Chains A and B, each alone.
Chain A
Amino acid sequence: MSARPLRVVGHPVERVDAIEKVTGRARYVTDLVLPGMAFAKVLRAPHPHARVVRVDVTRARGRAGVFAALAGADLTWCEPYFGPAFRDRPVLAIDVARYEGEPVAAVAAVDELAAAEALELIEVDYEPLPAALTLDEALRPGAPLVHAGEPLAGHFADLSTLRPERGTNVCHRFAYARGDVTATLGTAYLVVEDTFHFPRVQHYAMEPNAAVAAWDETGGLTVWAGTQNPYSVRVELAKMFGVPLAGIRIIVPHLGGGFGSKTYAKLEPLAAVLARAAGRPVRVAASAAEAFQTVRRCGARVNVRVGLARDGALLAVDCHADYDVGAYADIGPRVVQKATYTATGPYRVPHVSLQARAVYTNTTPGGAFRGFGVPQLAWALESLLDVAAERLDRDPVDLRRQNLLAHGEDFAPGDTPIDGKLEESLSRAAEAIGWTQPAAVDRGRGVAAMLKASVAPSVSEAIVRLHADGSASVLVSTVEMGQGARTALAQIAAEVLALPLARVTVTPPDTAITPYDQTTSSSRSTTVTGRAVQEAAADVRDQLQRIVADHLGVSPRDLVLDEGAVVAAGRRLGYPEVLALRFGMTGGELIGRGVVAPGRTRAPLGGSTPFWEMAVGAAEVSLDEETGAVTVERYVSVADVGRAVNPLILEGQDEGAVVQGLGHTLLEEMTYGDGHLLNGSLLAYRVPRAEDVPAVLECRFVENGDGSGPFGAKGAGEGSLIPVSPAVANALARLSGIRLRELPLLPERVWRALRARGPR
C-alpha cells in the first residue's frame, strides 16, 4: 500500500462534521434532553479557605419542584472523593472549603430557576481560615495548610506511591538529573540566571463543563459528558459508587472546545450523586463564570541557570520550577513531572538538574492546559537563551541552531530518539520572518523553539467494521473537541480500506460500545489512536484479501484494494460481493481490531514518548513607547508534524494555538485580590478577539514522513502555542532593550520597564 500515492490522507478534505456544525445540528451535552431530566445548580464557597461548620439543606429540599438537595455530609453512601493523581477532591466540600467557588451544596429541580431559588434556602455557616493564595504564601514557613490530612491514591499506577509532603503545601516534588551541573556551572564560560513568572490562566473553552447523569433500573449509571477522557471518568465513577466498570457508561457528544479543561472527571461525579438522590436524570451545566471555578492552567515561577561554553555550546541547565496547582491536585503532579523532564527544550545539554514542586494554594484547581506545563518552562528557558546570545554576541537563531538535538539523537537515555528535523523548522521560521534582512526601525523580531513529550506509555484500541454494503464504521473513543480527530481518523481508515471518505463513519465515544482509549490529549490521537485505526483497518483488509484469495485460488499478496473492491489480475470484486462470498448472504460484517500498547520502558518517566512534538515560532512586534502596548505584527510558526493528515485542519489548529498563546502572552491572567478572583467572567477576563490576531499569521509544517503515526504522521496542535510568549518577549527585547520576566506583557508592565530603562 505504502508505495501507492495517498488518496485521502495528506489532502485538505472537508471535515466530516462540517455540515452538522454550520447548520446548528451538531449536538453538545447541554443540547440533550432526557425525559424527566432535572436541572442542577451549585452553591459555592464565598471564601478562599473556610471551615464548613454547618450546611442545612432542609428548606431547599422541601421546596416545590426540588428533587434533591445535597451537601458533602450527605454523601455517606458513596466514596465522596475523586481525582486522577490523588483522590483529594470531594464532590461537595466536606468540613473544609479550600477555594473560593468550591461546590458546597447542590440542588436538582424541575428547572434551573427553581434550582437557583432553592439554593437561596440553603444555610451554611463558615468559619473563615487563613488562606494561601500565591506560591509565596503557600511556601513560607507556617503557611496555612490547604490540606491537613493525607489523600487517597488516584488511578495512575505510577503516581499511586506519591503522597503530598506532610505539614507543607507541597503536593508533589519531581527531580531529574544527569551529569554534574554544579561543577559544570562552576567552570562554564558564561552562566546566565533569572526567574520568570507565568500567570494562572483560564481555558475558556466556549462550551463550559457539563454532564448529564442517569441511573438505570439495573443499578447501572450512564453519563453524557463533555469530557476528553471518557475512560478515566468511568474509573472515577466506578470507584466512587462501587459499580463494575461494565456497569458504567460514558457517552461523549461533540465538545465545544477542551484545551485540557475537560480532562479527567470534573462535574460528572456531582451529576451522578444528584441523579441518584433525585431518582431521575440530572444535568449539571456550569456557566462560563463557574468554569473559572472548575479548573485553570497552573501558574508557575521558574528559576533557570544556564551554563555555556565560549563557543556557545550549552553545557548545563539548572532549573527550579514551582507550579501553583491550586486547591486540589487534579492532574497537576503529572503536569509538573512531564514538563520538567523536558525543561531543557530541544537542545543538547550534557548536564542537567531539573527540579519542580507542585504547590497547593487556596485557588481554583490547576490542571491540564494545552502544552501541559511546558509553556511555563519554555517561557523561562527561551527568554534566557536570548540573554545568553546577547552576552556572547551571538545571533539568537545561530545559537539555537548550534545546540539543537539532531534527528535520531537521544533526548535522554532510554527514551525515544529525536524523530524530526528541528533545524529545518528553525531555518524555515527564520527565513519566513526575514531574519537575515534588517527589520524596520520600529519593529523587532524574536524566535523561540520547543520540544514536548506525549504521554507514555498509553493505550489505544480501535475496531473497524466493514458492513454488507461496503461502508465502514470506525469505533474509537477519541473525543471530537474541534481538533478534527473524527476527520483524521476517518481519513486513515478510508486510506487503508480504499474507500471514499463519505463511506466511513467514526462513532462518537461510548464506553459501552467504543473500545478503550486512554485520553484525548497530549496531541496523541492522530499518532496513537490513528495507529490503532490503521491496524484495525488493515485487519479488515487482510480478511478481504484472504476471502478473495481462497475464492480465486491465488495468493493474498497478489490482491490489492482499489476504490471499494478487491482487485486481482483481471478480476474485480466489490466489498459487498466479498462479504456475500464470506457469509453466503447479504448480512454479516468483517470486524478488524487494532491495539497500540507499547508498555513501560527504561525511559526516565517509565514510558518512551510515542513522538516528540516540536515547533519553532518567530515574531515581529511593534511597540507604542507612550502606552507600553505591544502589537504582534507578524507571526510565523513552523511545526514538525511528520505528515499532515489533513493540512487544512492542521493549519487551523496551529493558528488557534498561536492565538491562544498570544492570550497569555499579551492579555490573560486570572487576577486575585483580597483572597478573591477579581476577573472570573468574560466581562472582566479578556481573551483574544479577531482584531488581536497578527496581520500576518502563517502556520507551516515540516513533513518528512518520519513520525511514528500512520503514514509518517505525528502529534501536533500544542507545540505551536509554546514558543509564542518567549518569541514575542525576545522580539520586544531586541526592539526596546527591555527584558520582561512576567507574563502577560500588559501595557502597564511594559511601560514600567520602559521607564526603568530610561531614554535610549
Chain B
Amino acid sequence: MTDARASDGGPAPERIRVTVNGRLCELDVVPHALLLDVLRDRLDLKGAKRSCDAQVCGACTVLVDGLAVSACTYLAVEADSRSVLTVEGLAEDARLHPIQQAFVDHGAIQCGFCTSGMLLTAKALLDDEPAPRRQDVLDHLRGSLCRCTGYRKIVEAILAVARTRP
C-alpha cells in the first residue's frame, strides 16, 4: 500500500496527470509509488494483480501508451502525461473486446489471476503485429506466466483473434 501519505521524513507527493481507460485523473503520488498500487488502491482498478513483484510473471501487466509494462515495477510518476489501459478498459460499451471473447470461447481462463495481464499482453502484440506466427506469440508470452492452463488454449485464443481480424 503506497499512498499519498508521505511517511516520516519521506519525499513529498507529486501531482501527476494520467489518462486511465480514457479518463483523465489527477493524483498526488509519492515518487516511489508503484503504478500497480495506484491503480489498485487509489483508483480501485483491481484487475491488475500482484504476484511475483519482480517483472517476471506478467499478472500486473497494463498498457502505457500502448506498450505492455509490469505495473509492479513501474513508478506511477513515470505514467505522468501518459495513457494507461487496464483490463477494465478493454470492453467497449459492455461489448467484450475480441481478445476477451476469444479467451472465453477457447477456454483460456482458469483461476483468472493471470488473465488480465495475458489479455493486455496479447493486445500489445496484436496491435503491433496483427498476424503473428505461433512463434511470435510464444516469444511475446515470455513475460506472462500461467500456472493453470498449460498455455495452449491461451496461445490458440490469441492466434484465433489474429485469424478473424479483417
Contact = CB atoms under 8 A, between A and B. Distances in A.
Contacts of A651: 107
Q: Mostly helix, strand, loop or mixed at chain B's interface? A: loop
Contacts of A256: 49, 51, 111-113
B1 A691 contact: no
B80 to A, nearest CB: 21
A18 B109 contact: yes
A203 B96 CA distance: 32
A683 B96 CA distance: 34
B2 interface: yes
B152 interface: yes
Contacts of A255: 111
Interface string A60-88: 00001000000000000000000000000
B153 interface: yes
Contacts of B57: 206, 288, 682
B47 to A, nearest CB: 2
Contact of A22 (B1, B8, B119): B119
A688 B150 CA distance: 8
B142 A689 contact: yes
Interface in B27-73: 40, 45-54, 56-57, 59
A31 B46 contact: yes
Contacts of A64: 8
A438 interface: no
A206 B111 contact: yes
Nearest to B143: A689
A26 B112 CA distance: 8
B146 interface: yes
A44 to B, nearest CB: 16
Given A259-B147, A659-B151, A288 B53 contact: yes
Interface string B4-42: 010110000000000000000000000000000000100
Contacts of A26: 112
A515 B131 CA distance: 50
A656 B1 contact: no
A665 B38 CA distance: 39
Interface stretch (A109-117, A319-327, A499-507): A109-117
Nearest to B151: A690
Interface residues of B, number: 58
Given A22-B100, A22-B109, A113-B7, A690 B144 contact: yes
Interface in A436-465: none
A18 B105 CA distance: 9
Interface stretch (A234-242, A478-486, A557-565): A478-486
A27 B46 contact: yes
Contact of B104 (A19, A25, A114, A687): A19
Nearest to B119: A22
B77 interface: no
Which of the listed residues A15, A39, A206 has the most CB atoms from chain B within 10 Å of its own CB? A206
A678 interface: no
A655 interface: yes
A288 B148 contact: no
Interface in A248-306: 254-259, 287-289
B111 A482 contact: yes
Contacts of A28: 49, 113
B84 interface: no
B156 to A, nearest CB: 10
Contacts of B90: 22-23
Contact of B112 (A12, A21, A205, A288): A21
Nearest to A26: B112
Contact of B49 (A112, A207, A258, A660): A207
A653 interface: yes
Contact of A482 (B2, B40, B103, B148): B148
Which of the listed residues B88, B115, B137 has the most CB atoms from chain A within 10 Å of its own CB? B115
14 contacts: A17-B112, A18-B104, A18-B109, A22-B119, A39-B1, A110-B5, A205-B147, A206-B57, A207-B51, A651-B107, A652-B149, A659-B150, A659-B151, A689-B142
Interface of A: 12, 14-15, 17-28, 30-31, 39, 64, 110-114, 117, 203-208, 254-259, 287-289, 481-484, 648-649, 651-653, 655-660, 681-683, 687-691, 693, 697
A-B CB proximity, top 6 nearest: A24-B47, A482-B111, A256-B113, A21-B112, A482-B110, A655-B150
Given A18-B104, A23-B96, A28-B49, 9 more contacts: A15-B107, A22-B87, A23-B88, A112-B2, A117-B7, A203-B147, A288-B53, A655-B150, A659-B149
